[in-house]
Chain A
Amino acid sequence: MRTDRLSATQLVEGVLRGNRRDLARLISLIEDEDPSVPSALSQLYKHTGRAHIVGITGPPGSGKSTLVTRITTEYRTRNKTIGIVCVDPSSPFTGGALLGDRIRMQEHALDKDVFVRSMGTRGHLGGLARATSDAVRAIDAFGKDIIIVETVGAGQSEVEVIDIAHTILVIDVPGAGDDIQAIKAGIMEIADIFVVNKSDMPGAERKVTEINAMLDTDPRDRAWRPPVLVTNARAGEGIAALVDTIDAHRKYLVDSGLLAEKGLQRSREELKTIMEHKLTAELMDKLKGLPEYEHAIKKIADRSDDPYSVAERLITKFLADYGRRVTESERKR
């Protein structure tokens, strides 16, 4: 049984010193939404921003995990350290998850410069876990050069990876001779690099043609046209070229100023998300015990009041309250 549970802030020093156990524990606290986490992340923040974050998404069966392993091997020969986060869907009914991506990464099992973490989505939609972004941050502060985020992308809405990754790889496999797209439209649009894996299967060339045809019809005028690469991850073919392309994309982002631009946009969105999250949490916490709240809900349900007016009233009250508390605490300081 866990006896002493360290708080997130106690783990910060360890993370910065390269203690992987502390990193792992911090990620758990992030997943558990422990109250000590924001403060720890705040301390780690200035140490982040160095890693290149690569998102890898694609339908089940496309060989993502094997590809991730191969990319890792290639990067290791180029002396890069790697962090890998594998996100798998949690059961909507039981909340549990079977996290089996690690099986495919055995060759890096004892490499101290490769850190692998499996995460369940824990009810969060969008393809990632709520904790993924902060976990990637922690791994960035820990010092990994490249962080790979692997997620299942099959549905149209599983595009959240675009918010945290610099370079997004979309993986597909040759079809069984039909035209049904394994990848849905939304995911096609976020790709920086397309990879047709399992190139030994029949139809690989056709798949490449299909993707290029789709790119030809893209109305956006993009300076970076996503290359369509072909790999056989199992046989280790096409990997060096793929890694070269990832590096090339990084260079493009830096040279074009897009990296800085994205960074700005990301910071704006992240701040907004954190503030929204915090405000909502505080609001709901304030309302939780309030008899007035429960009463209002009943009135809404029986149509003697309406949710629009109720919301207006409660928020005004909350903000006034909030403002008062802020003024008080500032006065105290």
Chain B
Amino acid sequence: MSSPKRIRVLVAKPGLDGHDRGAKVVARALRDAGMEVVYTGLRQTPEMIVEAAIQESVHVIGLSILSGAHNALLPRVTELLRKEGADDILVIAGGIIPEDDVPGLKKHGVAEVFGPGTALSEIVDYIKAHVKL
């Protein structure tokens, strides 16, 4: 470990969805890939997520959501980031997000959506490819 630089990722569960199996598994995989992962836990509002991302100065925000509320919540996160001038932070999402909704989310600033069946290495590789330390 010559360089002290580490990719920092915020993993959050927005809204009321309580299924955190995926978020925790991804958080651990990112840690095993050498990243620093701030895991916020459940019941995060977009405001809490953005505030945490700013204080922790993360490179990436990973949002896990299975409740179908993604169209309401995810754009609010990206909008708040824009308002704070923090939209250089990469926003990715996973969970139960129908393919049809992905273009809309991307238009709102979500960089990529990782659906069910995505290998952990795919997420790790994506982050490593898109974050320049």
Contacts and interface: CB of A to CB of B under 8 A. Distances in A.
Contacts of A90: 36
Interface residues of B, number: 38
Interface string A113-139: 001111010110000001000000000
A94 interface: yes
A122 B133 CA distance: 15
Contacts of B101: none
Contacts of A91: 31-32
A122 B6 contact: yes
B34 A33 contact: no
Contact of A96 (B5, B6, B43, B90): B6
A32 B5 contact: yes
Contacts, number: 102
Contacts of B132: 1-2
A28 B53 CA distance: 12
B98 interface: no
Contacts of A33: 4
B96 interface: no
Given A20-B55, A21-B85, A98-B28, A122 B4 contact: yes
Interface in A144-170: none
Contacts of A28: 8, 57
A109 B48 contact: yes
Interface residues of A, number: 34
B27 interface: yes
Contact of A31 (B4, B38, B51): B4
A99 interface: yes
B32 A94 contact: yes
A132 B39 CA distance: 20
A94 B35 CA distance: 8
10 contacts: A1-B130, A24-B54, A31-B4, A96-B32, A97-B6, A97-B36, A103-B41, A110-B48, A122-B4, A122-B6
Interface of A: 1-3, 20-21, 24-25, 27-28, 31-33, 90-91, 94-100, 102-103, 106, 109-110, 115-118, 120, 122-123, 130
Q: Sorted from nearest, which 4 A-B pairs have the closest CB atoms?
A: A96-B31, A24-B57, A103-B41, A28-B57
Given A96-B33, A106-B43, 20 more contacts: A1-B88, A21-B54, A21-B86, A24-B54, A32-B4, A95-B1, A95-B6, A95-B34, A96-B34, A99-B36, A99-B39, A102-B40, A102-B52, A109-B47, A109-B51, A109-B52, A117-B56, A120-B6, A122-B1, A123-B1
